[in-house]
Amino acid sequence: MGKNVLMKLSKLPSRIDFFLAHKEIIDKYGYVDFARISKGRIFSGYICENTIFIKESKTQGNRIFKATTDKEIDVGEKYPEYYKGMELRNPQWIRLTSLEVVNYELFMEEYHLLNGKNLDGTFRGSVPWVFVTKE
């Protein structure tokens, strides 16, 4: 099995639903530009033209999203309105062409870290992303 990136989503204001905001734009334009905000960039070969997973914090729903990516772009074109109110320092723009909510329990059973360990506790600290693989 191949490896996929599972990234932690930055905490958003409670009024914002990440999934609905991004899915609405995909449904309208066929893609949405997702701004990944973090100190370190992920090598575009790991995330572009691939499937990635994005995890919400426990306080925001604890959902996991499966996204199909297109390409990394320099500047976002179609993105949720709430981005305009955020300070986007050096964002890594990733074009998403699909986004769906996956079953959390099933994902946690089927996927694990590359070293074979389960995902429990993976995002309790400051780890922004990890590689996962399906059993």
**Ranges of each domain in the chain:** 4-115
Residue written as tokens 């033209």? 49
Q: pTM for the whole thing?
A: 0.90
Q: CA 24, 69, 86: angle at the middle one, nearest 5?
A: 55
**Percent of all residues in the chain with a pLDDT value above 70, rounded to a whole number:** 99
**What pLDDT does residue 32 have?**
96
Determine contact, residues 19/99, Cβ cutoff 8 Å: yes
Q: Is the pLDDT of residue 110 over 70?
A: yes
CA distance 56 to 38: 15
Is the per-residue pLDDT at 31 higher than 70? yes
For residue 6 the two structure tokens come to 């599972």
Instruction: Locate all alpha helices (DSSP H) within 1-124, ordered by sequence.
Output: 18-29, 44-47, 104-110
- pLDDT confidence of 48, banded at 50, 70, 90? confident
pLDDT of residue 57: 83
